[in-house]
Structure 1
């Protein structure tokens, strides 16, 4: 007899409370129900049910085994539902959260391409630099910069967050062009809160430099940092995705292009136990394709 079918019959027998009730539910004879349970007991080498002419009860091992059977049957059912859902059109709402700068400058423009792939999916997007608890706050996925300590989450690595140091031509004309990262100690900088006071770390070959510019202004918006730099208020260290277009347009000048700045990891995260619906599967696949991948966590 098939092990999986015997598990189904055993669970039904326990749920219904008797062999005859289980046989009616399953559409098989009481004798066949008894054979399935006996087959399991023979396979396991121990009794699962205590039987009398009037009643049945689970043995101590039977109590443990029936819960294990229920778990297995539930997992198989979910797998079958997921396989069926994989063929379905993505639809419904996705709740997404992302850092403000990444969300504004990168994610939002890219979503036009996602909407073309999944037109029946609606998007509820929250942009914040706070580390949102996606489980407690009901988000489907989050784009996260930095480390990921929460074991409840699955993380898919994306391309790292590359940083650049730059300043406006007007600022450099007034204050001079720093030739070495150590020169930044004599320059004013615009800091992004909350990392404004953290030192800037650069490396070239075997040389490593850690420098703390004079923070003249701190602000909690990457876009505001960029605007302040373009106005000539100081040197900034910001993501390449934010300042790249300004550098190409000559509004900002990249400093120390031959130096390496420490990159920050970026990941797409979602709940470990979240059912893989077509819409969730579609946004994960899109994000990995659109924003690049590294090894998974």
Structure 2
């Protein structure tokens, strides 16, 4: 006996008012529909319907079973719908939030490739250093750097956000020599005011990790503004690789202390735990892991 099929016939018979009406809706013969309801009653050991030639009514047991069976069938339908949805083609608008520097210089250059793979998806990208509320503000995915606080959000870990220490040749001509991270105490540091980088810079070197307090007369929450200040000779800069690599290659900035690796910042893609894993969301998370995951190729220093 196909118990779910028998339950479906029973529920439709209750809602349609008769077994024959349910049989018509389900494209079954009245005899087969009646047989399935009788098989269900025999399996349960109770009578579900009081039937006469002119009417039918639910028994007390039938009323209880009808309510539960209706819910079970609805859950099955929802589950089947979700499976069908995950197998369908990604489509619709994808709302993403990312920090300004990562979003501008790492994520945005990769977005055209994602859209070429999924022509029925559109991307609405919000760049902000503010900690957005993914659920209340209606985002599908949020990229976040730094340690994650406890929350109900699910996280896909990505490769840590790599930082470089650099300054302009003009600044270095007049500044004190910089041999170790501790020497930063005597330098004009360009302060990124948005994160913990505003007070301390950490490095991994020959003797392990060292954290150095820093200070400077210029601070801002914009990595681009800090880069411009560094090129203008205002001080020492600690910012992501993707923001400063072209300036280093062009000679406008010089990498400092290559034997001391700035402590990388964790990077995650976050999404809501109670949100359906739609094809567009799944495809973008897979794309993010492919492009920014731990197995991606590390850029040259």
What's the TM-score bracket when you normalise by the shorter of the two chains?
A: 0.7 to 0.9
Take 2:14 and 2:182, find their aligned partners in 1: how far apart are those partners? 75
SS at structure 2 position matched to 1:165: strand
1:96/1:123 contact within 8 Å kept = yes
Structure 1 counterpart of 2:57: 55
1:197/1:212 contact within 8 Å kept = no
Deviations 1:256-285 (A, max 9, x none): 222233222222233344445544444333
TM-score by length of 1: 0.82
Take 2:42 and 2:245, find their aligned partners in 1: how far apart are those partners? 70
Indicate the RMSD between aligned Cα atoms, in angstroms: 2.8
1:210 aligns with 2:208: no
Take 1:96 and 1:160, find their aligned partners in 2: how far apart are those partners? 19
Post-superposition shift, 1:100?
0.7
Q: How many residues align?
A: 287
> Cα gap change, 1:293/1:12 in structure 2, threshold over 3 Å: closer, same or farther?
farther
Deviations 1:146-181 (A, max 9, x none): 326432x44322222111222222222211231111
Structure 1 counterpart of 2:116: 116
SS at structure 1 position matched to 2:190: strand
Structure 1 gaps, min length 5: none
Structure 1 counterpart of 2:133: 133
1:103 aligns with 2:106: no
Q: What are the within-5 Å matches in structure 2 for residues 1-297 of structure 1? A: 1-13=1-13, 15-16=15-16, 18-37=18-37, 39-40=39-40, 47=46, 50-53=48-51, 54-56=56-58, 58=62, 60=64, 63-83=67-87, 85=88, 88=89, 90-146=90-146, 147=148, 149-151=150-152, 153-195=153-195, 196-293=197-294
Take 1:199 and 1:81, find their aligned partners in 2: how far apart are those partners? 47
Structure 2 gaps, min length 5: 296-301
Take 1:172 and 1:114, find their aligned partners in 2: how far apart are those partners? 41
Post-superposition shift, 1:36?
3.5
